[in-house]
Amino acid sequence: MSAVVLFLLVTACSFSSSSNKNQSNIITNRGSDTMVNLALAWAEAYAKEFPQVEISVSGGGSGIGIAALINNTVDIANVSRAMTDTEIQEAKKNGVYPLQFIVARDAIGVIVNPSNPVTNLTLGQVSDIFSGKINNWRDVGGEDRPIVRVSREVNSGTHVFFLQAVIQLGNPTDKTIFAASTLLLPSSEGIIAEVSQNPNAIGYDGLGYITSEVKVLGLALDPAGPFIEPSSTTVRDHSYAIARDLYMYTNGEPTGALKEYLDWIRNPEAQQVVTTLGFIPIT
Amino acid sequence: MTKRRKLLEFVIQGLIRLCGYSAIVFVALIFLFLLQEGLPALSEVPLSSLLGARWYPIQNLFGLLPLLLGSIVVTLGAAVIAIPFGVATAVFIAEVAPRWMREILKPFVEILAGLPSVVLGFLGILVLVPLIRTGFNLPTGLTALTGSILLAAMSLPTIVSVAEDSLDAVPKSYRDGALALGATKWQTIWRVTLPAAKSGVLTAIMLGLGRAIGETMAVMMVTGNAAQMRWDALFYPIRTMTATIAAEMGEVARGTTYYHVLFLIGMILFLISFLVNILASSMLFRAKKRAERMLS
């Protein structure tokens, strides 16, 4: 009996020491599904250069990463949107002081089926389509077809970003939301699958997930144009309308191995990985 | 010696009794847990909001009606497809097919039951969804009907297998008697064999549909998950209660209103399947009594 208790104590100790950051060479990294491939690629590249550091990466969604950071069970939280004031307050109550690092940029592409003749939309039209005011492609210069709206699930950081930046056009007092008939698909793959085989569909997704099976629309703020397609150039010069920063959050100023890793991520060599995965580097 | 035997008897009886009670205790505990996590939702969200037509929880719109409608439409659709098809297949295997064909068909149907629902869902996305969209000329193939067909495919093996077993258990003398009275083969099946196997066939249907009500993964992949209410919901995307819980429970913070509402949905699901089970067993009970009356 006492042996069991002792065993529990030992595991409990080792558990708490592994979550005690900066001492060990194990870095835990969790959060955004948008960023999970990117974080994995960085971790792999870093492990090749510095084999003494172990980095474990997992996804789940931005919310999962933030929850883990607040509970102090993770070293780095990957988040595809800025943390809200309530979340930061909650963290401080737990003795966690979130520090934000911008590690890459991402553009959200609005996508349609390649057979759809529509190539350009204004942001207002996209907003009206997704909120249910426009229901036929005819009204935006396309064929006489019903519009099928495709979106990620409500727990996705991309969903929330799209809601605020496009449907509500960045106006925080705007209470417009997705039309009830919007399809909420559990994965990026589901969105690409539906849009690539359905000529009625319109969807959105992070640039890194968009494949050649779908057509990316050019967007403009006003009907006169210019209509701009997302690319690393148009995102960096801020001419493309829906782009966002991707963040990593740590608890307080990082030290030791953690600091070295975050510094490495923001150097040009690591930012090269960002480009190959379809995101936009910060430098 | 006898004393020892009595003790052993007592212990074994106690153990068996414990097993029997534990099933009840577990169900009761699960329900209590659901009540504890779900009931706060009723005080936190006004009833008028819960009975609303819009489910958009990140803006505190907690209308449960579209989810309820979605679950009912998909399950009823699956029942309408699976019951006639499943019972007919069972009748074919048990009554019509020659012995050798039966030996092949039965194991094959049972293998179907082992297909993971994710695999079926994936097949659904690749094959069924485009077919439904072009076949019915719908805006999208991610519809309640697609979900119903997949669920029917999932509950068919159970229905066929259990119903076939109970048809097989009908004594041969029943059929011989009917045929001797001049009944045709069809009349024998419809008027004698099926009624005699009624309770087993009903159990088969309940077991099969039980799988359909609780199924989540395949439904989440092919029904589009749009929480909308319309009278022709069968041909449009819908959102089921199970898919809602599965998609949203992962990231919701413990103890929030949103969390409580998700558990309330779980409670509703539990109550529905509880009611269906009670209804089914009371039907079985009645059927049995009537059969006993007729035989005596």
ipTM of the complex: 0.78
- Chain A closest CA to B228's CA: distance in Å? 5
Contact predicate A182/A150, CB 8 Å: yes
Query: CB A154 to CB B66 under 8 A?
Result: no
Closest-CA residue of B relative to A137 is B139
Tokens of B263: 């558990």
Which among B61, B140, B225 has the least Cβ separation from residue A184?
Answer: B225
Note whether A118 and A204 are same-domain residues. yes
Give the closest of B141, B248, B251 to A64, CB-based: B251
Cβ A167 vs Cβ A127: under 8 Å: yes
Mean pLDDT across A203-226: 86
Q: Between A204 and A224, where is the model more confident?
A: A204
Which chain B residues are Cβ-neighbours of A193 within 8 angstroms? 125
The answer to whether the Cβ–Cβ distance between A201 and B53 falls below 8 Å is no
Partner B contacted by A94 (CB < 8 A): no
A interface mutation test: which of B129, B142, B232 has the most A CBs within 10 A?
A: B142
CATH code assigned at A146: 3.40.190.10
pLDDT in the model for residue A276: 85
Q: Is B239 on the interface with A (CB under 8 A)?
A: yes
Contact status of A47 with chain B (Cβ, < 8 Å): no
Distance (Å) from the alpha carbon of B219 to chain A's nearest alpha carbon: 11
Record the pTM. Answer: 0.78
Q: What is the pLDDT of residue B1?
A: 60
Query: Which residue on chain A is closest to B122 by alpha carbon?
Result: A190
Residue A283 maps to a domain: no
| CA gap B7, B295 in Å, rounded | 42
Q: In chain A, which residues have their Cβ closer than 8 Å to the Cβ of B226?
A: 180-184
Question: What is the set of domains in chain B, with CATH numbers?
Answer: 39-295 (1.10.3720.10)
- Tell me, yes or no, whether A270 lies in a domain: yes
Specify whether A31 is located in the same domain as A9. yes
What was the pLDDT predicted at A127?
92
**B250 or A224, greater pLDDT:** A224
Region of A232 on the Ramachandran plot (φ > 0 left; ψ -120 to 50 alpha; else beta)? alpha
B198 lies within 8 A of chain A by CB: no
Residues of A in contact with B58 (CB under 8 A): 154, 160
Res. A283: pLDDT tops 80: no
Q: Are A110 and A238 part of one and the same domain?
A: yes
- Please give the Cα distance from A19 to A168 (Å, whole number): 40
So what's the pLDDT on residue B287? 65
Mean pLDDT by 10 residues, chain B (296 residues): 84 92 91 90 86 85 90 91 93 90 88 84 88 89 91 90 90 91 91 89 86 82 88 88 86 80 92 83 70 59
Residue A224 lies in a domain: yes
Q: Is the pLDDT of residue A51 over 90?
A: no
Shared-domain flag, residues A7 and A31? yes
For the record, the structure tokens of A101 come out as: 């690092």
Is the pLDDT at A23 greater than 80? The verdict is: no
Q: Contact A175/B227, CB-based, under 8 Å?
A: no
Q: What is the pLDDT of residue B292?
A: 64
Domain that holds residue A65: 3-105+245-276
Residues 136..175 of B with a Cβ closer than 8 Å to A: which? 139-142
What tokens does A263 get? Answer: 């510094």
Rounded average pLDDT over A90-118: 90
**How large a percentage of chain A has pLDDT more than 70?**
92
- Taking an 8 Å cut-off on Cβ atoms, the answer to whether B56 and A154 are in contact is yes
* A74-90 b/e (C-beta count within 10 Å ≥ 16 → b): bbbbbbbbebeeebbeb
Across the interface, of B58, B228, B248, the residue whose CB is closest to A180 is: B228
My answer on whether A182 and A236 are in the same domain is yes
Q: How many domains are contained in chain A?
A: 2
Going by pLDDT thresholds of 50, 70 and 90, the confidence category of residue A126 is very high
Q: How far is B129 from chain A (nearest CA, A)?
A: 9
Closest chain B C-alpha to A154 CA, distance in angstroms: 7
A10-24, A36-50, B27-41, B134-148, range with the lowest pLDDT: A10-24
What is the structure's pLDDT at A200? 92
Task: Verify that A53 and A111 share a domain, yes or no.
Answer: no
Q: Are residues A26 and A110 in the same domain?
A: no
Quickly state the pLDDT bin for A19 (edges 50, 70, 90).
very low
Closest Cβ–Cβ partner in A145, A147, A180 for B226: A180
The residue among B77 and A84 whose pLDDT is bigger is B77
Yes or no, beta carbons of B226 and A201 under 8 Å apart = no
Give residue-wise pLDDT tens across range A133-177: 999 999 988 889 999 999 988 877 788 889 988 998 888 788 888
CB A266, CB A105: distance < 8 Å: no
Q: Please give the interface size between A and B, counted as residue pairs whose CB atoms are below 8 Å apart.
A: 76
Nearest residue on chain B to A186, alpha-carbon basis: B247
CB contact under 8 A, B54 and A148: no
Minimal CA separation from B256 to chain A, in Å: 14
The 3 state secondary structure assigned to B10-27 is HHHHHHHHHHHHHHHHHH
Whether residue A219 sits in one domain with residue A120: yes
Give me the residues of A, 207-236, that contact B with CB < 8 A.
none
User: What sign for the dihedral angle of Cα B164, B167, B173, B176?
Assistant: negative
Q: Which amino acid is at B268?
A: I
Is A184's Cβ below 8 Å from some Cβ in B? yes
Q: State the pLDDT at residue A12.
A: 41
Angle between helix B144-168 and helix B99-112 axes, rounded to 10 deg: 140
The one-character DSSP state at B57 is G
Asked if residue A232 and residue A127 are part of one domain, the reply reads yes
Q: Are A181 and B226 in contact (CB under 8 A)?
A: yes
For A183, A188, A203, A238, B183, the CA distances from A151, given in Å and listed in that order, are 6, 9, 6, 24, 59
Chain B interface, best mutation among A79, A113, A131, A183, by max B CB count within 10 A: A183
Domain assignment of residue A259, yes or no: yes
**Do the domain assignments include residue A23?**
yes
Same-domain pairing of A56 and A8: yes
* Same domain membership, residue A221 and residue A126: yes
Phi, psi (rounded to 5 degrees) for A226: -75, 145
| Closest CA of chain B from A234, distance in Å | 31
Closest chain A C-alpha to B115 CA, distance in angstroms? 21
Cβ separation B252–A60 shorter than 8 A: no
Nearest CA-CA distance, residue A204 and chain B, Å: 15
Are residues A55 and A134 located together in one domain of the fold?
no
Q: How far does the CA of residue B248 sit from the closest CA of chain A (Å)?
A: 6
Flag whether A281 is in a domain: no
* Confidence (pLDDT) at B145: 92
Q: What is the structure's pLDDT at A203?
A: 93
Cβ contacts of B285 within 8 Å, gap of 6 or more = none
